[in-house]
Amino acid sequence: MADIIEMPKLSDTMTVGTLVKWLKKEGDAVKSGDMLAEVETDKATMELESFFTGTLIKIYAAAGAQVAIGAPLCAVGKAGEAAPAAPAAPAPKGDAPKAEAPAPAAAPAPAATPAPAAPAPAPTPPPAAAPAAPVAKPQDAPSEASAKEGRLKISPLAKKIASQQSIDASRLTGTGPHGRIVKADVLAAAANPALLKSAAQAAKPSGFSPQVSGLSKGPVQEERTVPVSTMRGVIAKRMVESTTTIPYIYLDIEIDAEPLLAVRAQLNTGLEKDGVKLSVNDFILKASAEALRRVPAVNSSWEGTAIRYHGAAHVAFAVALEDGLITPVVRDCHLKSVFQISTEAKALGKKAKDKKLAPNDYTGGTFCVSNLGMMGIPKFTAIINPPNSAILAVGTTVAKPVVKNGQVVAGQTMTVTLSCDHRVFDGAVGAQYLGALKDLLEKPALLLV
């Protein structure tokens, strides 16, 4: 008898999965452990594993379909065996996408007539360039371009002197207010004809901006509308939930980054032969966990009628993907060295990019770090990922003058911003946490013990 493979629950918040593509086709031999398809959940795209050996005799869900948890995906049986009829899919639970809801048993409404597409407005032609003025020497008579001097910004005295000196005023560069040509401009050109603009320059209309060589003149991108992916839809829902239900406090603090950068450089240079390459973010993850040890009230979650205080610091970090972002978790970050955190974070980041994360890799975080420093962003605020009560936004290191020992010297600073859930703790607690984080990052040797 054939075995039915159903849509599994691949994340704690998953209600449906999108069947991205099949890796096997009907009639293919499969064995236990083979990957059958790619499934996109609300968190990541993952591979669907077969737990049976035989032949893929039937595919029930086409690529691109959204399938509820427990609904049939395919059947594996003996070669030539008749495929069983697909069992009825279970009713979706929770907030399943509307596309999965059954249609009401009412007479279908007449199809709406699509609104005609409005024709795109015709592009406005660029203003015609003024005719090029012939090259003229100061002693020559004024050219035709000088007949249009009425449109030039030129003082009456300058215009008179230009005529007396047989200078084409359209080739003068004005140094007066708003680019107005004044007497000094005419006299300077009379003494030094090299100051006159070329005929091509004189022909360009006011406000002309030269075309930069090599820039494309085509559209920004193809005009199109694409369906919202499962990941993008869940991100949208959770971010709206976060920003409309959580009362936020935003706190930021400036950190002297020079000690951290110096220690990181020393370690990377001294341990290069051992393959060690620590990032700034590795230190921030470690410092975040140690700061949670010092101010544990931040390591908490809002649960409606209760606040849960977590005994372990499971620190998540944001990884940007093509269709959104995901937050892999470094578990028990408070118990690991910065070297262990670096190794684990790199492995998790690669799995995220390759869409190979397992549910245990990205669930259960108690605190989150979002770092845009590598993209040059000096400061920003991040949105809390419920049920966490805080998230740390990390900006880039900025070189600027700082005051040290009463002297203004060159320095390097980094601004971090803590977004806090005011239901869980108050601003004073958030400030204590940032103070602890600052102390650890400005004394990075403490992170190595």
CATH 2.40.50.100 domain locations along the chain: 3-87
pLDDT of 397 over the 90 cut: yes
Lowest mean pLDDT among 21-25, 154-158, 343-347: 154-158
How confident is residue 199, by pLDDT bands cut at 50, 70 and 90?
low
Q: How far apart are CA 370 and CA 355, in angstroms?
A: 19
DSSP letters spanning 163-232: HHTT--GGGPPP-SGGG-B-HHHHHHHHH-GGGSPPHHHHHSPTT--PPPTT---S-SS-----PPPHHH
List, in order, residues 6 or more apart from 328 with CB less than 8 Å away. 316, 317, 319, 345, 348, 349, 351, 352, 357, 361, 362
Q: Is 17 exposed, middle or buried (0-12, 13-18, 19+ CB in 10 A)?
A: buried
Pairwise pLDDT comparison (184 vs 304), residue with the higher score: 304
CATH 3.30.559.10 domain locations along the chain: 244-448
Lowest mean pLDDT among 131-140, 265-274, 433-442: 131-140
CATH number attached to the domain at 3-87: 2.40.50.100
pLDDT of 339 over the 70 cut: yes
Lowest mean pLDDT among 143-147, 185-189, 250-254, 307-311: 143-147
Nearest to 295 by CA among 334, 256, 327: 334
List, in order, residues 6 or more apart from 373 with CB less than 8 Å away. 280, 281, 394, 395, 396, 397, 414
Q: Is 178 a catalytic residue?
A: no
List, in order, residues 6 or more apart from 255 with CB less than 8 Å away. 413, 414, 415, 416, 437, 438, 441, 442
CATH 4.10.320.10 domain locations along the chain: 144-203
Query: Residue 352: what are its φ and ψ, rounded to 5°?
Result: -65, -45
pLDDT of residue 132: 43
Mean per-residue pLDDT for 25-54?
88
- Domain 144-203 -> CATH class: few secondary structures
The fold of 244-448 is: Chloramphenicol Acetyltransferase (3.30.559)
Question: Structure tokens of 324?
Answer: 């959104």
Beta bridge partners of 127: none
Output b/e per residue, 155-177; b: 16+ Cβ within 10 A: beebbebbeeeebbbbbbebeee
Residue 356 contacts residue 328 (beta carbons within 8 Å): no
SS3 at position 98: helix
Residue 23 contacts residue 53 (beta carbons within 8 Å): no
Question: Which among 178, 314, 334, 422 is annotated as catalytic?
Answer: 422
CA angle 10, 13, 16 (to 5 degrees): 65
Question: Structure tokens of 344?
Answer: 């684990």
Mean per-residue pLDDT for 92-105?
41
pLDDT digits (tens, 9 = 90+) for 363-396: 999 999 999 999 999 999 999 999 999 999 999 9
How confident is residue 98, by pLDDT bands cut at 50, 70 and 90?
very low
- E strand or H helix at 345: helix 338-353
Cβ atoms within 10 Å, residue 34? 19
pLDDT of residue 121: 45
Question: Structure tokens of 210?
Answer: 């030269």
Cis ω for the linkage preceding 138 (within 30 of 0): no
pLDDT of 160 over the 60 cut: yes
pLDDT digits (tens, 9 = 90+) for 41-69: 877 778 888 989 999 999 999 988 889 98
Residue 253 contacts residue 395 (beta carbons within 8 Å): no
Averaged pLDDT score across all residues of the chain: 83
Nearest to 253 by CA among 439, 399, 425, 407: 439
DSSP letters spanning 19-71: EEEESS-TT-EE-TT-EEEEEE-SS-EEEEEP---EEEEEE-S-TT-EEETT-
Q: How far apart are CA 346 and CA 120, in angstroms?
A: 48
pLDDT of residue 10: 78
SS3 content of the chain, % helix, strand, coil (to 5): 30, 25, 45
pLDDT of 256 over the 50 cut: yes
Q: How far apart are CA 306 and CA 437, in angstroms?
A: 27
Lowest mean pLDDT among 190-199, 311-320, 409-418: 190-199
Q: Is 240 exposed, middle or buried (0-12, 13-18, 19+ CB in 10 A)?
A: exposed
pLDDT of residue 90: 60
